[in-house]
Structure 1
Amino acid sequence: MAGYGNKKNFVVSEQEIAHLDAMLKNIDSDISVAMSYVRRTQKLTFKELEKKFSGINGNTLKRYMQQSYQSMRPIHIVAAYSWVTMVPMTAFYYGFKIKEFYRGMDDNAVEALICLGRLPAEMLNQFLNMVCCMLDDQSKQEFLEFRQQIESEYGVIEDHREFLPPDTLDIKEFAIDYYRSVAVTARQFREEHNISVEMASRLIGLSEYQYHVLEDINKPVPLPVSIGFRVKLGFKLNSHANFTSAMTVFPEFHKLRQVQHVRDSLLVEALRRLKSHERGPMTKVLISLSELYK
């Protein structure tokens, strides 16, 4: 958890907690919209989706994607769904505004980016080189500087085939591994920053009892999807990916989240530097490539 920095005696105001409550009051509905949008964009049927999981049926997945569904959507379900669809988990928090995650992109470019999770690193690099050839000298230099900066911080684009999900993901086994990692890393984070259980529980919207359960590695229970975004916003973190760093059964999931950040950042930065009349044809290239790796 060293990457979080040293923020001793962290304090969150009542106004900040109230702001989080208001901002995320419709988070379950927003998540359902984003999950449904990704499914349609990737042209996944519920039958196909059902085959990608064990331990959960297609009807349950369908209910999670319905705005009218009133029950909680557990965060491990959204995490597993993000892995199977290879779409960054953070994108699902945007709901109706999922396109804001890919700021500056038109609808076609967003759809292409959502479908490119399985594109091999070599092909992605070739595409980025093609874009660079179309840029003027200044834009090209700025993009290369951006690439150098992000890769120095998060690592270079890797061939992420080893980080792909299993052909069939056991959702129950994934949930246990996910919540155990959250328990270990949440306690470490709280102790490093001298955050009381009372403060932590109020910030992420749980009772103190529920928060103690969250930190209990021997009692993994489903938690609301809102806790991920509340932690990220409330503690002003650049990412909440470190909370999956202690996964031992599915360590590939954590590594993929880092790889996804690099891939998406570079693609968006490259595409946004193209002229509008160039971006359309290049987006078509991306969509064609995505069809090869479903």
Structure 2
Amino acid sequence: MSELMEHFSNLLADEEQINAQIAIAMKQICESARIGRSEFESTFTGITYATWRNYLNPAYKNSRSVAVLAALSWYTGVSMNSFYLGEKLCAFLGVSQEGLRLLTLISQLHDESFEIACQMAFGLIDEDKKDLVRESYLKARLLHREIAGICRFPRPLDLNSFSQDYKRSCAVGICRLQNKLGYSDAQMADILGVSEHRYIRLSDPEDELPIPVFVAVRFKVKFQLKETSFILDDMSEYPDFAHLRRFQDARDRIIRPLLEHLSSEAAARLHRALLNLFW
């Protein structure tokens, strides 16, 4: 079992722990991406700022919709897996707080801007370390070209509409996996740790009951799924997000080595330069 999957497994037993860890990571990522109230309200509709603040509060015990995490992932460019890392976010990603700020900045860029940022990061790495990341640097640029220009965040994003489309697609994907495995509703409910009635609602594409993050974590771990983007194949209103999701994790793994090999001084210089150029 990978270290990441082991981390997810350790969260399974306690829904409150999952919610708390999600909140910690969300808050760190939002702070790194400079998402305050005005930024939030101009970026998302269909959710109040008070509800949003609850999502960022580890003490908030109610369930959090995985669709909201998906929307934030789309806006920040940071992969959804990152939101499950909680207080171990920076350690698992292998970046400092400054590196996390750079990751969110670079991940939000598109097209030529992304390539410029990668070139700048590579150029600031010490000469004796460049060979360690040269391959990652080239792969990052090639991979981004596959999604450039077709996965832009539709600001402002209507979270009600997005959540419904996300839920419908997830429900179809879950049912598809259930049929493939030949499991009953009762078996699926037991695996995901919910009642059979709740599972039937969660797996119904026409039922708007949101999928909570603890179910998403259990779905990934219990079925040993390294890749879960297939459940977004049926997104019809926001297919760009489904397309982006297929590349997010890979792009994260490629960008991070560039950031890991930057000195503190170089990281600070890059951060200032990106802000001056693109914000």
TM-score (norm 2): 0.83
Partner of 2:170: 182
User: Which stretch shifts more, 174-183 or 283-292?
Assistant: 283-292
User: Which of 36, 41, 44 is equivalent to 1:45?
Assistant: 36
State the secondary structure of the residue aligned to 1:115: helix
Checking the alignment, whether the CA contact within 8 Å between 1:72 and 1:224 is kept in structure 2 is yes
Checking the alignment, whether the CA contact within 8 Å between 2:67 and 2:166 is kept in structure 1 is yes
Aligned equivalents of 1:279, 1:285: Cα separation in 2: 10
User: Which of 102, 106, 111 is equivalent to 1:116?
Assistant: 106
Written as runs of structure 1 = structure 2, the 5 A alignment for 1:132-147 is 140=131, 143-144=134-135
Checking the alignment, whether the CA contact within 8 Å between 2:121 and 2:270 is kept in structure 1 is no
User: Which of 96, 114, 133 is equivalent to 2:87?
Assistant: 96
| CA RMSD of superposed structures (Å) | 3.0
**Structure 1 unmatched runs, 5+:** 1-16
Deviation at 1:160, TM superposition (A): 3.1
State the secondary structure of the residue aligned to 2:106: coil
User: Which stretch shifts more, 156-165 or 128-137?
Assistant: 128-137
User: Which stretch shifts more, 170-179 or 263-272?
Assistant: 263-272
User: Which stretch shifts more, 184-193 or 280-289?
Assistant: 280-289
User: Using a 3 Å threshold, how does the CA distance of structure 1 residues 209 and 120 change in structure 2: closer, same or farther?
Assistant: same
Checking the alignment, whether the CA contact within 8 Å between 2:16 and 2:61 is kept in structure 1 is no
Aligned equivalents of 2:220, 2:70: Cα separation in 1: 15
Give the count of matched residue pairs. 270
Written as runs of structure 1 = structure 2, the 5 A alignment for 1:200-215 is 200-215=188-203
Partner of 1:248: 236
Is 2:147 the counterpart of 1:157?
Answer: no
User: Which of 83, 86, 94 is equivalent to 2:74?
Assistant: 83
Partner of 1:71: 62
User: Which of 224, 246, 271 is equivalent to 1:258?
Assistant: 246
Aligned equivalents of 2:86, 2:156: Cα separation in 1: 26
Aligned equivalents of 1:138, 1:67: Cα separation in 2: 39
Checking the alignment, whether the CA contact within 8 Å between 1:31 and 1:94 is kept in structure 2 is yes
TM-score (norm 1): 0.79
User: Using a 3 Å threshold, how does the CA distance of structure 1 residues 283 and 234 change in structure 2: closer, same or farther?
Assistant: farther
User: Using a 3 Å threshold, how does the CA distance of structure 1 residues 108 and 213 change in structure 2: closer, same or farther?
Assistant: same
Aligned equivalents of 1:35, 1:91: Cα separation in 2: 9
- Identity percentage of aligned residues: 25
User: Using a 3 Å threshold, how does the CA distance of structure 1 residues 266 and 279 change in structure 2: closer, same or farther?
Assistant: farther
Deviation readout 1:206-228 (Å, 9 max, x if unpaired): 21111111221111211211122
Partner of 1:36: 27
Partner of 1:58: 49
Deviation at 1:260, TM superposition (A): 2.3
User: Which stretch shifts more, 183-192 or 262-271?
Assistant: 262-271
User: Using a 3 Å threshold, how does the CA distance of structure 1 residues 204 and 143 change in structure 2: closer, same or farther?
Assistant: farther
Partner of 2:257: 269
Deviation at 1:122, TM superposition (A): 3.2
Is 2:185 the counterpart of 1:194?
Answer: no
